Amino acid sequence: MLSIWEKQTFFAPTDVLIAGSGFVGLWSAYFLKKANPSLRITIIDKGIVPTGASTRNAGFACFGSVTELLLDVETMGTDSMLELVEKRFRGLQTIFETFKASDIHYEQCGGYELITAREHERYPDLFEKIAWLNDAVSPITRKKHTYRFIDEPKAFGFENIHSIISNELEGGLHSGWLCRMLLLKVQEMGVIVLSALGIEAFNHIGDHLEIATDRGIVLKTNYLLICTNAFAAKLHASVNISPARGQVLLTSPIEGGVPKGAFHCDEGFYYFRNLGDRILLGGARNKAFDEEATAELAVTDRIQSELELFLRQVVLPGRSYTITDRWSGIMGMSDEKKPVIRQLEQHVYCAIGLGGMGVALAPTVALEVADLLTQR
C-alpha cells in the first residue's frame, strides 16, 4: 500500500509517462521539458538501470562507415541513407552542445574502417565510391572530404587488412556517463525517474490512461510514450521491431599500447576501440543472424569465439592479453532500418527501432517525438 506522501509525489498522475530510461527516454523527457517546463513527466524502467543497449554498447560516436552506407544505398536508396546520416550527425552535435566532452569522456580520436580483401573485391571502384559519398554527405558534415584512405595503413599494426579509410569527425564516449549525465539533467528539470518498475498493461479510462505495473502500483497519465526499443512489442502488439543482440568483450591492458580510434570492419558488423591500453571489441552478429535475433541478455561461445578470432588475426596479432569482461546488449531493428516515431493509438506514442545507432540517433529521434507530442 502506498502512503499519501508517495501518492502525491513519486506516483502522482502525470502528463506524460515514458516507458524506458535509456537514451531515447531521457532525451525525450529533456526535449519535452524544454518545450513546456510545466509538464509533469515520469520515466519508468523495468531494470535497475537501462537494460537494453544504452549502457551496454561500445560507446561509439559515429554516423556511418563507408561500406555500411554503400550497403544502405543498395537496400534503401540514396535519399534514405542520407536521411539517416543526417539524423545521426545532428544527434551527435546535440550531445556535444549539451554536455562537456569531459563529462561524458568523449574523445574525437577519429573513426576508421578496415577494408578486407573480400570487401576490396566487392568494391573494386571504392576510390570512386568514396569520392561520390564525400560529395553526397558534404552538405551534412560541412567537409569536402569526410572519408579518405590513409597513407600508411600498416602503421596501426593490423593484419589481413587491404586498406583503411579514415573519418576524423568520429570518436568514442562513455555510454554510462552519458546516460548518467542525462539522468541528472532531467531530474534537475523536475522529471521523476523510477527504476525496477515494469509495465504489465495499460487501459484507457476516460481521457487518461491507467498503467498497471509489475509491483501492483497503478499509475495515471495523460499520454504514454514507449521508448523501450527492442522490447516495445511487449507493450503494444502493433509494433514490429526485431531484437538483435550485440555481444562485446574487453581485453586486459596490453603492454606497448594499442591503436587509438573507433574502428569498423565488415560493413560495420565488427567494431572495436581502445579504452586506454585495452581493446573493446563487439559484433560478429552476421556470423549467426538467427541466433542473435533474441532479447536474451547473454554471451555465447559461438560469437565470443568469432570475436576472439578477429582479435588474434586482425587487431592484436602476436600480442599477449586476456579477456577480462564479456557482456551483451539488445538493439531494436525496424524493417526499413529507420526509427519508428509515431502515434500507436489515442494517447499512446512510440520512439523505437534505432538499429544499433542509439548514441547518435537518440537525440534526433527524441526531438521528433517530443514535437509530435507537443503539437498533438
Smallest Cα–Cα separation from 356: which of 23, 129, 33?
Answer: 23
Specify the DSSP class assigned to residue 115.
E
| Overall average pLDDT of the 108-134 stretch | 92
Yes or no: say if 160 and 316 are a contact pair by the CB < 8 Å rule.
no
Q: Are strands 14-19 and 218-226 parallel, antiparallel or unpaired?
A: parallel
Q: Which parts of the chain are beta strand (E)?
A: 14-19, 41-44, 60-61, 111-115, 148-149, 163-167, 171-172, 192-194, 199-205, 208-213, 218-226, 242-251, 262-265, 270-275, 278-283, 323-333, 340-345, 348-352
Specify the DSSP class assigned to residue 98.
H
Position 68 scores a pLDDT of: 94
pTM for the model stands at 0.96
Cell of 194: 523510477
Yes or no: say if 369 and 363 are a contact pair by the CB < 8 Å rule.
no
| Overall average pLDDT of the 81-85 stretch | 97
Work out the pLDDT band at 122, boundaries 50, 70, 90: confident
Looking at the structure, give the CATH architecture of the domain made up of residues 108-169+243-333.
2-Layer Sandwich (3.30)
Residues in a beta bridge with 220: 210
Reported as type and span, the H/E element at residue 140 is: helix 126-141
Question: Whole-angstrom Cα distance, residue 60 to residue 52?
Answer: 16
Longest pairwise C-alpha distance within the chain: 70
Work out the pLDDT band at 123, boundaries 50, 70, 90: confident
Q: How much is the mean pLDDT over the chain?
A: 96
Q: Are strands 262-265 and 111-115 parallel, antiparallel or unpaired?
A: parallel
Question: Whole-angstrom Cα distance, residue 88 to residue 333?
Answer: 16
Question: Whole-angstrom Cα distance, residue 122 to residue 194?
Answer: 49
Work out the pLDDT band at 120, boundaries 50, 70, 90: confident
Q: pLDDT > 90: what percent of the chain?
A: 92
Q: What is the DSSP string of 250-306?
A: EEPP-TT----SEEEETTTTEEEEEETTEEEEEE-GGG-HHHHS-------HHHHHH
Residues in a beta bridge with 298: none
Q: What is the pLDDT of residues 293-327, one digit of tens each?
A: 999 999 999 999 999 999 999 999 999 999 999 99
Which residues neighbour 223 within 8 Å (Cβ) at sequence distance 6 or greater? 15, 16, 17, 209, 347, 348, 349, 373, 376
Yes or no: say if 224 and 347 are a contact pair by the CB < 8 Å rule.
yes
Position 273 scores a pLDDT of: 97
End-to-end CA gap in the chain: 35
User: Which residue shows C-alpha cell 516507458?
Assistant: 19
At residue 100, the 3 state secondary structure works out as: coil
Specify the DSSP class assigned to residue 314.
I
Question: Whole-angstrom Cα distance, residue 369 to residue 74?
Answer: 28
Position 335 scores a pLDDT of: 87
Position 376 scores a pLDDT of: 64
| Overall average pLDDT of the 117-135 stretch | 91
Looking at the structure, give the CATH architecture of the domain made up of residues 4-56+176-241+336-374.
3-Layer(bba) Sandwich (3.50)
Yes or no: say if 267 and 299 are a contact pair by the CB < 8 Å rule.
no
| Overall average pLDDT of the 337-351 stretch | 96
Domain ranges of the chain: 4-56+176-241+336-374, 108-169+243-333
At residue 80, the 3 state secondary structure works out as: helix
Yes or no: say if 179 and 47 are a contact pair by the CB < 8 Å rule.
no
Cell of 102: 569531459
CA torsion angle 356 191 15 208 (round to 10): 70
Work out the pLDDT band at 336, boundaries 50, 70, 90: confident
